[in-house]
Amino acid sequence: MFTFIKNDIKFLDIEKEIMNSNSEYNLIAYDKQVLDNEDILETFKEADELQIERYLVKKDENYIAILDYGMSSPRHQKPWLSLLVIHKKYQGLGYAKKIYLAYEELMKNQQVNCIQIAVHSTNNNALNFWTSLGFIKFNERTYEGKIIFSFEKKLN
């Protein structure tokens, strides 16, 4: 159903389109509705520094999502999902859950026993989504002036 394609700089315009279809998220995360090339390049740099695997997700011929994850989070040294964003026109179709479950299976196959995520406290859609998938809040902190909740899900 989905194809995961290793994301790199040649897909900058595709990543920017997916991110900019989510202006509400951009405002929460980046304090602006529209990201430019420099913003996207900064995410590539940060991902490299944090050893994050970055993927674009395709359904048929359409790029529909971005999935980024690392095997050792900066704060807790545990596997973490750093970004899952669905293009606005593909939201509400169940794709986020299916993509997440594919990622969870990948982690289970790598003998991972828990996954962590961080969610902005004001991102109500994300908070509802992640708790519906069994993630439990275990920490709260301030990062770059914003309240961030840390969540964890134990895997069987």
Strands (E), 23-154: 52-59, 62-70, 80-86, 114-120, 136-143, 146-154
- Reported as a single tens digit per residue, the pLDDT across 103-113 is 999 999 999 99
Calculate mean pLDDT across residues 52-71. Answer: 97
Q: What is the predicted pLDDT for the residue at 1?
A: 84
pTM of the model: 0.94
Indicate the range of 9-13, 43-47, 71-75, 93-97 predicted with least confidence.
Answer: 71-75
> Phi/psi of residue 33, each to 5°?
-80, -30
**Single-letter code of the amino acid located at 121:** S
pLDDT grade for 34, boundaries at 50, 70 and 90:
very high
Domain spans of the chain, in order of start: 2-154
Q: Please give the Cα distance from 67 to 144 (Å, whole number).
A: 23
Q: What is the predicted pLDDT for the residue at 85?
A: 98
Pick the CATH number of 2-154 from 3.40.630.30, 3.30.70.580, 3.40.190.10, 3.40.50.300: 3.40.630.30
